[in-house]
Amino acid sequence: MTSAEEQRPSPGGSWTRRGVLGGLLGAPVLLLAACSGDSDKGGGGGAASGASSSPKTSVAKITVSPADGVTDASFTDPVKVTVVDGKLGSVKLTGEDGKEIPGQLAADATSWASTGPLTSGTKYTVAAVATDADKLEADANTKFGTASPANTFIGYFTPENGATVGVGMPVSINFNKPVTNRKAVQQAITVTAQPGVEIVGHWFSSTRLDFRPEQYWAKGTKVTLQLRLKDVEGAKGVYGTQSKDVNFTVGRSQTSVADLSADTLTVTTDGQVTATYPIIGGAPEHKTWAGKLVISEQYQQTKMDSATVGLGDEYNIPDVPHAQRLTTSGTFIHGNYWSPDSQFGNANTSHGCIALKDAKGASDPNTNGAKFYASSIVGDVVEVINSGDKTVDPSNGLNGWNMDWATWRAGSAV
């Protein structure tokens, strides 16, 4: 016996000879042979050769569209997954926010298509698994990104988020591009209120959509506007970009009646008459619009120039105090420091606006103009009666209350 060899009893009681170097190297050689997958290589014996046979591979072939790595895929087209020589077992389409996009597997399980909408400018992953006739699995894991639309539109809304408004404030949305697919756009906009009330949208034009209830809001109502316009096709090839919520609250209930035969403004707050002011209305040649007019803007002081409303150079007043807009066309209820005191409550001499006595520079909080301004908020209603003029066009300002409910509802696209 040499020093390189030993004799040891086998577990069955028989003896075996083993080289010391063979004990150190034999197992790694067998392992390499098994991992190589080639029975013609390595120094393993019969057992090792049998373990090295190649595993079978699934013949199922999966194709995903958009292809892996695409960065400008259409967000309006569905994602499609197909397989040949196999059946799809599962398909998972996930956005970068982790949300899964639903889809539909064909009855023969050879194709799948997404049914939920994609979002522009977003990255997605697809994980698909299929099996062939031998139940062997194949998988596909791909990534792609959607393009951002070249042509977009947005809606400018009023009131602003967090605002406290009067009972006559509608939700008004002006689009920066004409909308031809009115139904899709209106369906993507929701207005809800607490306490609940029916709210209906009305299209004044291809660029303006307003929402209101049948009657003025109840005081304290909380209103939520939900814009879900992102990727909504408003016109051919023109897509929305907004997805946001806007919340506002209806404050106390205040409405006023401007009687231009009596030349008085009577203010009612939460059901109680709180003030009566002498006023000046529009002169016979410049009558004030009749109807329910909603305060849409407020200015401590503002310039009024007759040239801007088509009246030439009849007036140009740089510092009109306590001005509150009632129509887009230029009707205001405002303070007046230039007319004699005798005209307030007795004469209609304005160019169509309603005036209350005030001080130059809006400097005296005790004037009627200052007090009415301080008591008012955007969304309050000033109803003009006995003006001798026709009712204001409902689209002239935020004045949709001058349209009966049936006509208002008829202007909805949904």
Q: To 5 degrees, how large is the angle CA 141–CA 144–CA 149?
A: 160
Q: Which residues contact 185 (CB under 8 A, 6 or more apart)?
A: 175, 179, 209, 229, 232, 234, 240, 413
Count CB-CB contacts under 10 A for residue 88.
22
Q: To 5 degrees, how large is the angle CA 326–CA 186–CA 293?
A: 10
Bond prior to 149 in cis (omega within 30° of 0): no
Q: What are 35-63's pLDDT values in tens digits?
A: 333 434 333 344 444 445 667 899 999 99
Count CB-CB contacts under 10 A for residue 179.
26
What is the model's pLDDT at position 306? 72
357 residue type, one letter: K
- First and final CA of the chain: distance in angstroms? 101
27-36, 125-134, 290-299, 391-400: range with lowest mean pLDDT? 27-36
- Compute CA distances 95 → 73, 91, 228, whole Å: 14, 14, 18
Q: What percent of the chain has pLDDT over 70?
A: 86
For residues 206 and 20, what is the distance between their CA atoms, to the nearest angstrom? 93
Domains and CATH numbers, the chain: 61-145 (2.60.40.3780), 152-251 (2.60.40.3710), 254-402 (2.40.440.10)
SS3 call for 151: coil
Count CB-CB contacts under 10 A for residue 99.
10
**Which whole number is the average pLDDT over 17-37?**
36
What is the model's pLDDT at position 307? 75
Is the overall model pTM greater than 0.85, yes or no?
no
Which uninterrupted H or E stretch holds 406? helix 405-410
What is the model's pLDDT at position 53? 62
Strands (E), 161-261: 164-165, 171-175, 189-194, 200-205, 208-212, 222-228, 233-235, 238-240, 243-250, 254-259
130 HSE (CA, 13 A, CB side): 27
Helices (H), 320-394: 368-375
Query: Environment class of residue 223 by beta-carbon count within 10 Å: exposed (0-12), middle (13-18) or buried (19+)?
Result: buried
Q: What are 259-273's pLDDT values in tens digits?
A: 999 999 999 999 999
For residues 114 and 317, what is the distance between their CA atoms, to the nearest angstrom? 62
Q: What is the dihedral of CA 228, 209, 253, 353, to 10 degrees?
A: 140
279 residue type, one letter: I
For residues 288 and 258, what is the distance between their CA atoms, to the nearest angstrom? 10
* Per-residue confidence band for 203, with pLDDT thresholds at 50, 70 and 90: very high
- Positions marked catalytic: 334, 353
For residues 363 and 334, what is the distance between their CA atoms, to the nearest angstrom? 14
Residue 27 has pLDDT above 60, yes or no: no
CB 117 within 8 A of CB 231: yes
For residues 224 and 112, what is the distance between their CA atoms, to the nearest angstrom? 38
